Amino acid sequence: MNHAHQKFTQALTTLPLVAILRGLTPAEALPVGQALVSTGWTLIEIPLNSPQPLDSIAAMAGAYPEALIGAGTVLTTEDVRNVQAAGGQLIVSPNFNPAVVREAVRLGMVCLPGVMTASEAFGALEAGATGLKIFPAEMITPAVVKALRAVLPKQAPVMPVGGVTPDNMGAYLAAGANGFGIGSALYKPGMTAAQVADSAKNFVAAYTGTMRA
């Protein structure tokens, strides 16, 4: 297990929440990164349709080596290589592209492709995906996650993304989800680092409270 996968495995046992920072600018990268890391978040993705995303990834990866930093909306093998060159170790996609997964695996990166069906899920795992991004979760109820979880390998992390809030995390966790990707409920462009920290703390409280319950 390489260092990137060690970070991911550790996060799954402590705080398996991926911060999705769509629209983040390089100037915001370090203050927002600090707001997240200081509240316990170690999984951070900057979607490639953000302004100068590779610059933000490089800044965060350099400043917060304890965190697993990478990119979302990764659609091509060239994207994968560019993220790795910037210092990123995490590849998240809205879809399952076997070539993208295989390239991430080749480079030793953590890879979470987006899947919606059992066929996509098994195909992604066969290609070497580290875990599965269940997307969009607005269309995939906890009951569907439970049905997928019944047939998927127990060791395969399942992480719903899309419309996840502190209020609905418990139902997904009870259905067998292992973590979540959190987007606009955590960060929207223009938010201050202090606002992001407050939002991050709310999600930490919701997750830990649900796990205790």
The residues assigned a catalytic role are 45, 133
Work out the angle at residue 160's Cα, subtended by the Cα atoms of residues 156 and 166, and round it to the nearest 5 degrees: 125
Closest CA to 53 of 103, 11, 92, 17: 92
11 burial level (CB within 10 Å; 0-12, 13-18, 19+): buried
CA 197/CA 181 separation, integer angstroms: 16
Bond before 136 cis per omega within 30 degrees: yes
Closest CA to 149 of 210, 141, 136: 141
Closest CA to 76 of 98, 56, 55, 59: 98
